[in-house]
Every structure is written in structure tokens, then in C-alpha cells.
Amino acid sequence: MFSQASSDPSLADKSVYKTLIRLGPPFNRLGQALVEIFGHFNWKRAVIVSRRKTDNKKVFCDYSSRAADVIFRANNITVAEWMIIDDGITDAKIDEMLERVYQRGRIVILCSENKDDTRRILLRGKEAGMMDGSFVFWMPDHLPPDNVEKPWLRGDSSDADAKLTFRNVFQITVAEMAGPEVESFRDLIPLKMAESPWFYNTSIENRKRGSEYSPFLHDVVYLYLLTLNETLAEGLDHRNGTAIVQKARNKTFRGVTGNVKLDLNGDREPDYWVWHLEPDAEKFAVVMEARMTSSTKKIYVTSDIKWSTFDGLVPVDVPICGFTGDLCIKKTSYIITIVVPVVMVISFVILLVPSVIVYRRIKFEREVEKMTWKIESHEIKLSEARCFGSIGQVIHYLQ
């Protein structure tokens, strides 16, 4: 089976799905890209917030969150909490959710197919004081949405505030899917559908473009044809699924969706773009690339990231004082435990030395007083005399 978009993380189990080829970027790869990004910034803790799956159409957040949860845990990244929110979440529920985030983490994977909900969550976060740069919100979007450059715009009075909150947001999408080649291909589809043998004009009349997944469909058909040609050229049976899959594994080619590289399991290794809104910029731009197709270095910073933290440094995943301030209390208690006894000992020594000196002086005086040969000063008389013609000397004599 050659699939354009079999993205469910469970399909990565090749002990079950032995002859499945997945050209649409699997969500497992998105999770692995996040692991590489976390490693680059030295983060080891995250909170996941994702929209609840209620149908079989809006499944992106469910799939991506499940993939991130599994891969994070496998790579020693703590998932402090995974919160599932409902579509159309109320402000009260948002505030409750943000309070839990505040107590559990600083790096947040935030995903909802309802972009209005995402915007409201960020605005409520601003009111709660969470937009000072200490929180980072990662918003995965498999394919770049139409408003990827200005996701805050709604044409209302909150646009300015929303733009400020999006400075704390990073969007991650499949690389090259917002490029001119993809856009031209999608524009070309309705024109081709109007030609023979389909003569389908409805898309043109309704001004519709090709689906966002149509480039993947193009590339997966192309991949099948490449493997089919090789199979037939070698005289193998084209109905042998195992042989066909073997030919597809590790295949690399240039497609409409960019550089296509399949791994040994027949899953695509996509590259990802990271979008960020720099200060004073008017739109999001790509600042990082997660090149999962690279066999060596994975993370490339294409533009300097200007963090909103008070010191301009990369935000930490755990506050210095902990989430409740207890670490600083413990440090203070530890310092007090060490410093106070030291000060007391020093003070004791300072007081002890003079006391010992005074005591020893008094003791000495008392011992001297007990001596029988002691001569008081009033008992001493002085006189001058000559003795046998010599110069008179002071002679001490007793009364």
C-alpha cells in the first residue's frame, strides 16, 4: 500500500503493517523533530495541551500529541502533564488550564484545529502575566496554514494584543510546503481537471485549488512508478508486495513536496521549518530548520532568535526557584543552616579570646600576691654614696 497521508502514529508498527509505504510525513517524525529542537535548547520538560478528538476529520492534534508524548518519554523528556481541551473552550476553562500549565511547565506544546481557541488561550495567557518571555508555546501545523505568516489577525480590536502574544510562539511545519512550487502545483490541478479525459470544470467555476494533500498524492504515485520500473527491469513480479516495498525503502528523489527520503521502514523522513515572529517584524518567518533527512547535524538556525526573556537568554524549562518557589526556600534554609552556626562560632571565639586574656591576667596577679618575697614599692629607699673613691651608684637597701 502506497499512502499519501497515513499519519496515525500506530501505523509506525511495521511488525503489523509490513507492506505500508507512507509518503505523507508521519507524526512520529514530527515528534522526533521536536526532540531534536528540545535538545538544541537543552529542554527536558514539557506540557502538552491538545484539542480533544471528536471526529475522523480533525485528528491532527490527537495524532501529533500522541506521537510527541511517546517519543518524548523515550528520549528522557518529561511530559509533566497532557491536558486535553474541548472545542470552543470557555474563558473560565482556559484560565483553569493556564493555572495548571503555570504550575507544571514553561515549554508548552499547544495544538488545536480551532485557531480561534488558540488565539483566545494566548490572549488569556497575556492577562495572566505569562507573556513575559518565560513561557514558550510550540504550535505544530503539519502543513502550513494559509495564515502561517500572520496567525493573529482577525480584523478585530484584539489584533494588536494578539500579535504581542504570538511573539512567544513558534510554529513548526513540514519544510517547503509553503514554497512557490507547491503553490503552482495546486493552482494547476483545476486546469488539468478541466482537460481530457475528465472535463471537470466545477473547481474552476468555484475558484478552488488542489487539496493541500494533492502534492503528496503526486509524489506517492511517482514513487510507486519508480519502484515499479525497477521491479519490472529486474524481471521480478510486480504483484509481490514485499519486493515492491523493498525497492521503495531508502528511496530518495526530488518531488513536488521537496526532497523525499524514505527510511528503512518505508516511512518518509521529512524536514521541518520553524516559524517565529521577531520583534518589530510584521509577519512570521523561518528562523530554524530541523533537517531530519540529514545523517549528521539536524538543527540549523537560519536567523538569530531574539528571546523576550529579561536577560535575552533562552527560557528555562524549570524556574530557578521551582514552580512553587520551594527551591529558593530550601536554598535559603540551607544557607541559614550553614551560615548561622559559623557566625555563632566566630562570635564565640571573638568573645572568648579577650576573656581568656583577662582571666589569665587576674590569675597571674593573684599568684604574685601570694609570693612572700614580694617587695612593695613604698618599702624601697634610694640614696647616693661613694664607695672607695668610685662614682656613687644608686644603692637599694631595705629599711
What is the pLDDT confidence band of residue 391, given thresholds at 50, 70 and 90?
very low
What is the pLDDT confidence band of residue 28, given thresholds at 50, 70 and 90?
confident
Predicted pLDDT at 33: 94
Residue-wise pLDDT for 337-371, tens only, equals 676 666 677 776 677 667 667 667 776 666 656 65
Residue-wise pLDDT for 202-235, tens only, equals 999 999 999 988 999 999 999 999 999 999 999 9
Res 397 pLDDT > 50 = no
Q: What is the pTM of this model?
A: 0.77
What average pLDDT does the structure give for the chain?
Answer: 87
Q: In what order do the strands lie in the sheet with 271-276?
A: 78-85, 45-51, 107-111, 136-140, 169-174, 271-276, 285-291, 299-301
So where are the chain's domains?
A: 2-177+212-301, 326-398
Percentage, residues of the chain above pLDDT 90 = 62
**Nearest of 137, 123, 118, 94 to residue 277 by alpha carbon:** 137
> Which residues, at least 6 apart from 188, have a Cβ–Cβ distance to it below 8 Å?
210
What is the pLDDT confidence band of residue 195, given thresholds at 50, 70 and 90?
very high
Res 188 pLDDT > 70 = yes
Helix H, strand E, coil C: the string for 109-122 is EEECCCHHHHHHHH
Residue-wise pLDDT for 140-163, tens only, equals 987 888 889 999 999 999 999 999
Q: Which fold has domain 2-177+212-301?
A: Rossmann fold (3.40.50)
Predicted pLDDT at 399: 47
H or E stretch at 190:
helix 180-193
Predicted pLDDT at 7: 75
Res 394 pLDDT > 50 = no
